[in-house]
Structure 1
Amino acid sequence: MIALRGLTKEFPGGVRALDGLDLEIADGEFFALLGPSGCGKTTLLRTIAGLETPTSGNIWIGGTEVTSVPPGKRDVAMVFQDYALFPHMDVTANIAYPLRIRKVPRARREARAAETASRLSLSELLTRRPAQLSGGQQQRVALARAVACHPRAFLFDEPLSNLDARLRLEARTFLKRLQRELAVTTVFVTHDQGEALALADRIAVMSAGRFTQVGTPTEVFQRPANTFTAAFIGSTPMNLLPGTAGNGALRVAGAVLPLPGGIPDGPIVYGVRPEYMDLSPTPRADAFAGKVAVVENLGTAHLVTLESGEHLIQTVVPEGAEPSPGTAAWAVPRPGRALVYRDDRLVFPCPANGANR
């Protein structure tokens, strides 16, 4: 288990990259740190690794406090965004390097490197140097180097970001299978919410050095705890529309919608994902009226953007059902799929336990 208590990191000039973070990552869990550039996720990973010293707070790995322990003695393995392979060493030497540092005898470390390489389909590449490898092969060598030293935890800093789209999908599946087989606690930093949703057992969404939500992929996707998380999570941005609650209804962007129980009168923000909206060619009181501004081809579906007064409202429609630009249309929220925020906190449906952090 990895545990953080009150972890804070300040850089010169008063820049607070981490702001009093508390977190527990379970033994064997695949945990993703997700957020935009500059949110503090890489700083947090480097602090867990010992490459950054916290200003205050404590870190435990496997029940042992390691806040002041140097990186080499924390028994963690880190895979960097650029793989950080030694260009003058072949694949065997790169994989075995952490064992060499630990003064493992040469025969043993080369045997361990060969065993790990076989597991990651690298056996035919052992005598090559990094310049002779593709990006996907270099990524597997970096993973093999981490696996070979049998660490207590893996720390991944956007290891897939340098791969092209197809290789990223293949590497994502490979990485998840490998982590499941090894059952090693893994902390994975990414700005790609698709990667986080696909790989992680739990996700911590970060903004300005704080966690905006910690939960399972299902929780953060279906019940984002605040509008930042709602806007950040999802391959297409969630529609977030200002409105008012009162007189038994929600009034949002010209539509009159059912008022869920327990929401007091006053201003609200109404959220619904484009995937949970249907398009009607005829007027409806419970729909958002607009004119089709843009139609984007997503392959098996189309993303339709409506201009509705001062708002842009998006909905996803099936292949072959896309309207023509300039036509009138009504976007209909599906029952049970809408979210309501008050004072930037989810009030309907009720957030899952632990969602608001």
Structure 2
Amino acid sequence: MADITLNWLAKVYPGGVRALGGVDLTVRDGEFFALLGPSGCGKSTLLRTIAGLEAATGGSVHIGGRDVTALPPGDRGIAMVFQDYALFPHMTVTENIAYPLKIKKVGRAERTAKARETAEELGLGHLGERRPGQLSGGQQQRAALARAMACHPGVFLLDEPLSNLDARMRLEARTFLKKLQRELGVTTVFVTHDQAEALALADRVAVMEGGELRQVGTPTEVFRRPAGTFVASFIGSTPMNLLEARVTDGGRAVLVAGRELPVPEHAASLVAEGEKLVYGIRPEYLRWSDEAVGAALEGTVSVVENLGSAQLVTLECADGTTSVQVVVPEDHEPAVGTRGWAVPRGERALLYRDGSLVTAAPAPAAQVPA
């Protein structure tokens, strides 16, 4: 069993720079878990603190039920793969894979045999005598993974291991990595800034901002129901439309860009007449119409972007201050300057209050004493 439990884990650098602000998190045994966020959000620091490469300034790290907070990296039962793979350039592939076993004082014959066996498992058997400089990026990545696997760790920690690969190679490596993790069943924590990568690979995702966890959930959960406007704007190949709104019609509708739209079902009993909110709807959950539709956003097409199998249309709304993006199927895209309507799928719309998803009724107004 190799679950990971973090209790109020904090990291503050000299000068008072806070990298982690008290992280509470559990990664389940055998889970593929992604830490996702923009550069500087603290995800790599969190990974390095789990590994013991950074010393925590508060809180604790437990791996497999064992408190490892004060243990050095070599005693934590983990293996780490870095962004640049960190292969020794003067060693062969076999020697690189065998190196962690050498550190553990495993005999030469045994570690060489184990390294060759692991290399075969990852399709590197024929490259055992080559050095890293003679390998492609994908082959170097596999060599780094093989080195990590050779010790049979309880936990894999992967720090953006795909970021140095070109687009085609990244897709191939992504498929390989997910299949490998499933076969090994090793608890894996994967750091990335690429949300498509996180959604494709992970069983669960933690979205980070400013050293804090903003949401933890399955890829489906964080995509369909972002807990806050930061997550909503960060997750998705096209950002969610986040539009100023006001509750009208006795709480049955929201006024968005001068048009009344139905209140989403999840928030129907949680909003108040006149309340100011943010209306969120993904471009994928808007339908394009060339004809007037009642509950829709009206405007003029200002930009059409080719996404390959679809088009991303930017609609400048009739109120003159709001724009909304719509994903339109290929061969159905409108021309720039065309008038049109973006029709939301009501069950996919979300409402946000003070940056957070509306999940409770607004607090009652304070009573002023007479």
1:102-131 Cα offsets, whole Å, 9 max, x none, are: 010011111111111111000110000001
> Which one of 4, 8, 11 corresponds to residue 10 of structure 2?
8
CA distance in 1, matches of 2:85, 2:10: 28
Runs of 4+ in 1 over 6 A off after TM superposition: none
In the TM superposition, 1:7-86 aligns within 5 A as 7-86=9-88
Percent identity of paired positions between Structure 1 and Structure 2: 66
Q: Which amino acid aligns with 2:90?
A: H
> Which one of 253, 257, 262 corresponds to residue 249 of structure 1?
253
Q: CA deviation at 1:249?
A: 1.4
Partner of 1:90: 92
For the Cα contact (< 8 Å) 1:296–1:302, is it kept in 2? Answer: yes
Q: CA deviation at 1:348?
A: 6.1
1:283-322 Cα offsets, whole Å, 9 max, x none, are: 2231111111111111111111111222221010111000
CA distance in 2, matches of 1:4, 1:264: 39
Greater Cα offset, 89-98 or 335-344: 335-344
> Which one of 291, 309, 329 corresponds to residue 318 of structure 1?
329
Residue 301 (1) aligns with residue 310 (2): yes
Partner of 2:136: 134
Name the SS of the counterpart of 1:336 in structure 2: helix
In the TM superposition, 1:227-306 aligns within 5 A as 227-247=229-249, 248-260=252-264, 261-262=268-269, 263-265=271-273, 266-306=275-315
Q: CA deviation at 1:349?
A: 10
Name the SS of the counterpart of 1:88 in structure 2: coil
> Which one of 354, 360, 363 corresponds to residue 343 of structure 1?
354
1:110-164 Cα offsets, whole Å, 9 max, x none, are: 1111111111000110000001000010000000000111001000000000000
For the Cα contact (< 8 Å) 1:340–1:349, is it kept in 2? Answer: no
1:255-293 Cα offsets, whole Å, 9 max, x none, are: 211124212230010001001111111222311111111
Q: CA deviation at 1:75?
A: 1.4
CA distance in 2, matches of 1:294, 1:97: 55
Partner of 1:100: 102
Name the SS of the counterpart of 2:94 in structure 1: helix
CA distance in 1, matches of 2:205, 2:356: 18
Partner of 2:113: 111
Name the SS of the counterpart of 2:55 in structure 1: coil
Greater Cα offset, 340-349 or 6-15: 340-349
Q: Which amino acid aligns with 2:54?
A: E
> Which structure 1 segments of 5+ residues have no match?
351-357
Count of residue pairs brought into register by the alignment: 350
Name the TM-score, length of structure 2 as normaliser: 0.93
CA distance in 1, matches of 2:337, 2:242: 23
For the Cα contact (< 8 Å) 1:83–1:142, is it kept in 2? Answer: yes
For the Cα contact (< 8 Å) 1:223–1:349, is it kept in 2? Answer: no
CA distance in 2, matches of 1:169, 1:304: 27
Name the SS of the counterpart of 1:22 in structure 2: strand
Name the TM-score, length of structure 1 as normaliser: 0.96
CA distance in 2, matches of 1:312, 1:144: 49
Q: CA deviation at 1:71?
A: 0.9
1:325-355 Cα offsets, whole Å, 9 max, x none, are: 11111111013111111122212699xxxxx
> Which one of 340, 346, 355 corresponds to residue 329 of structure 1?
340
